[in-house]
Amino acid sequence: MMQESGTEATSNGPANQNGAASVEGGARDARPKSATTLSAVDMAAADLIHLQQHQALQVARQILLQQQQQQQLQPQQGTGLKSPNEKQPSLQVPVSVAMMTPQVITPQQMQQILQQQVLSPQQLQVLLQQQQALMLQQQQLQEFYKKQQEQLHLQLLQQQHAGKQSKEQQQQAQQLAFQQQLMQVQQLQQQHLLNLQRQGLLTIQPGQTTLPLHSLTQGMIPAELQQLWKEVTNVKEENSSSNNSHRGLDLSSPQPPKNPLLNQHASTNGQYMSHSLKREGSTLDDHHHHHSHHSHPLYGHGVCKWPGCEAVFEDFQSFLKHLNNEHALDDRSTAQCRVQMQVVQQLELQLAKDKERLQAMMTHLHVKSTEPKPTPQPLNLVSNVTLSKTAPPEASPPLSLPQTPTTPTAPLTPLSQAHSVITPNSLHHSVGPMRRRYSDKYNMPISPDIVQNKEFYMNAEVRPPFTYASLIRQAILESPEKQLTLNEIYNWFTRMFAYFRRNAATWKNAVRHNLSLHKCFVRVENVKGAVWTVDELEFQKRRPQKISGSPALVKNIQTSLGYGPALSAAFQASMAENNIPLYTTASIGSPTLNSLANAIREEMNGAMDHGNSNGSDSSPGRSPLPAMHHIKEEPLDPEDHEGPLSLVTTANHSPDFDHHRDYDDDQGHDDML
DNA sequence: TGCCCGGTAAACAAAT
DNA sequence: AATTTGTTTACCGGGC
């Protein structure tokens, strides 16, 4: 009862259309319409991006973990080899950590860039390229480290099991190797930074090479990113006004209150101006330009590595040509660039977290010799709490992240019994892609990154690009028992999507409506009430209908998704780029997010599926972006949107819904905080 | 143009 | 008596 009212009534105050929700009689017309279309679309895209990042991050994390391990294990050795600029991380982690981070553009830097209005088309591209290069590097490193890590693991295992033989020697050798790798990484990173500086894209003072960890950790929250992107886009749009003026992300038309500075981009006439800027910065850059040698970050193995583009080229020249023609500055490229930037951003954030995690792990292991059991981690405390509920002691080592500094991790949903290890219910097995692979292996839970995703949805008031039916199904399938009460479903919605924290009367009604309307939702009487379950067959049954083959549809979908093609392409490309097996990666996360990710993928696949759609494997995906119509039609006063958007605030309390009896509805959380 | 979809609004009934 | 939970019907707009 109080839920709905409380929900929106809260801060939106005026100008909100919510009145319509519960009481309006014919207020229907009152419903605002028109404006948000794009933003909504864009956001949907953002969601995807998010997922992508999510996965990419995992990889990055691994790399970092390894790096840190090395450092930790070998604090002293090999010092001489290191570049002079570092102070040698003896014990302080921050330092070492910091060293690794500069490779990606930090939020601050990003802002700088924006502020300087250097976002000319060229620069945007350059930026993108740089970021891409980053990805490549990480990929390489990843592979490399992967091997090493495996060895390390083996060693550890041996040590533990076989007692304390003289493995130490081996380990030392190993460590040396690590050390070397570490240095390599650092060099790469520095190199990269240099590049950026050269391009004039970054203005970093010499001594500033190492950024404070917190700057990264704090990263930007989705909302901020969005704002940033908005800025970026705006700037860009001003230049290339023509195209589709719409699609820009104008979630909140007005500029964000936060970066007033950015607003000045007013008449940025990028093109030329930036050019000069670039020149300026290029002073140091005399030697190689990324163009000079064939090692163009966007060109590899004869293929264009632009997200989503896999064009093949005989020679570098033709590639360049292609790059200029096909990937010139336009809405699409910009969108892709944005995606990439976000990816990077998220990676950065994740890296920071994982570093910290590693740190904890190392600490733990060190201490271990003395007192193995009682892990002293401060974070553990937190995590323990989380785990305690369900978590069997077993695996899960260090886990969760401690810090979570200023991040707006929503305080709500505490826990997660979650991992639930996905009940062996063969239920979802039959379905398409998502279930295959990821669910089999129960994965260990705890994954910090979820928080991020979660945050995204929780913060961004973006209408999720899924139909109610899809979401409901998702909610139900995610539950340990594969069944939920209506209320639990509601809770899931509000937990997972900020969007559903408003207009409760409306969407709840829709949920109910969907539950009873679709055959795929089966109500099961229960001792204390009834629960809803999903008849997967039924569900799948009606999924294939549209999408499967029609190219036209695909096109539409893409369009609907905003930069659909671009994003999805970027999404997938990036994944591939990082060797991130979608499913595998996903499996690491929490069931909830995984599912979400999978759901999205599913939708995407269905939508984009070029080619083999019918038949067996191709995912069922189909209904994609359903309903965003009205979103687009709601002109919502800027205020309306803005408020929510700055969610940081909003996010913090959302508990409104959760309270009462939901003890078990929260399967999906992994937050550790 | 008509059909199908999915979202939204609502009326109503039944269960709490 | 007030809600919540479910069902159903109607209407809309979009895609085809």
Kindly report, residue by residue over A556-597, the tens digit of the pLDDT.
333 333 333 333 343 343 333 333 232 222 223 333 344 444
Cα gap A66→A146, rounded to integer Å: 8
Mean pLDDT of A485-509: 92
Mean pLDDT of A366-395: 31
Inform me whether the pLDDT recorded for A500 exceeds 80.
yes
Inform me whether the pLDDT recorded for A135 exceeds 50.
yes
Highest mean predicted confidence (pLDDT) among A51-60, A62-71, A591-600, A616-625: A591-600
Nucleotide nearest to A555 (CA to C1'): C15
pTM above 0.75, yes or no: no
Residue among A109, A108, A104, A91 at smallest CA distance from A63: A104
Let me know: does A77 contact A63? Beta carbons within 8 Å.
no
Cα gap A3→A657, rounded to integer Å: 6
Inform me whether the pLDDT recorded for A139 exceeds 70.
no
Check residue A363 and give its pLDDT.
65
Q: Which DSSP state fits A212?
A: P
Highest mean predicted confidence (pLDDT) among A18-27, A161-170, A623-632, A633-642: A161-170
Nucleic strand B within 7 A of Cβ A547 = no
Q: Which of A47-51, A153-157, A440-444, A659-663 has the lowest mean pLDDT?
A: A440-444
Check residue A544 and give its pLDDT.
57
Check residue A336 and give its pLDDT.
65
Q: Which residues get their CB within 7 angstroms of nucleic chain C? A: A 1-3, 485-487, 490, 509, 512-513, 515-517, 523, 529-530, 532, 546, 550, 552-553, 556, 560, 629
Q: How confident is the model at residue A352 (pLDDT cuts 50, 70, 90)?
A: low
Cα gap A233→A248, rounded to integer Å: 7
CA of A561 to C1' of C13 (A): 18
Averaged pLDDT of chain A: 46
Question: A161-176 burial string, b = 16+ CB within 10 Å, else e?
Answer: eeeeeebeeebeebbe
**Per-residue pLDDT reduced to its tens digit, A221-251:** 334 334 434 343 343 333 333 333 333 333 2
Mean pLDDT of A265-269: 29
Q: Which of A127-131, A201-205, A468-472 has the lowest mean pLDDT?
A: A201-205
CA of A611 to C1' of C13 (A): 30
CA of A260 to C1' of B10 (A): 45
| Residue partners of A175: CB distance under 8 A and separation at least 6 | A70, A73, A74, A77
Residue A384 to residues A352, A372, A397: CA-CA distances in angstroms?
21, 16, 10
Residue among A344, A399, A357, A354 at smallest CA distance from A578: A344
Cα gap A133→A196, rounded to integer Å: 11
Check residue A528 and give its pLDDT.
81
Q: What is the dihedral of CA A160, A163, A165, A168, to 10 degrees?
A: 30
Nucleic strand B within 7 A of Cβ A485 = no
Let me know: does A570 contact A341? Beta carbons within 8 Å.
no
Enter the tokens of residue A227: 């704002």
Nucleic strand B within 7 A of Cβ A31 = yes
Nucleic strand B within 7 A of Cβ A626 = yes
Q: How confident is the model at residue A493 (pLDDT cuts 50, 70, 90)?
A: very high
Nucleic strand B within 7 A of Cβ A492 = no
Cα gap A39→A16, rounded to integer Å: 18
Q: Which chain C positions have some atom within 7 A of a protein CB?
A: 2-10, 13-16
Q: How confident is the model at residue A533 (pLDDT cuts 50, 70, 90)?
A: very high
Chain A 444-483 contacts with nucleic strand B (CB below 7 A): 466-469
Nucleic strand B within 7 A of Cβ A636 = no
**Per-residue pLDDT reduced to its tens digit, A208-226:** 333 332 333 233 333 433 4
Check residue A317 and give its pLDDT.
82
CA of A503 to C1' of C16 (A): 31
Nucleic strand B within 7 A of Cβ A627 = yes
Chain A 497-516 contacts with nucleic strand B (CB below 7 A): 503, 505-507, 509-510, 512-514
**Per-residue pLDDT reduced to its tens digit, A60-89:** 344 333 443 433 333 333 333 333 333 333
CA of A543 to C1' of B6 (A): 13
Check residue A506 and give its pLDDT.
94
A448 or A523, higher pLDDT? A523
Q: Which chain B positions have some atom within 7 A of a protein CB?
A: 4-11, 16
Mean pLDDT of A538-554: 51
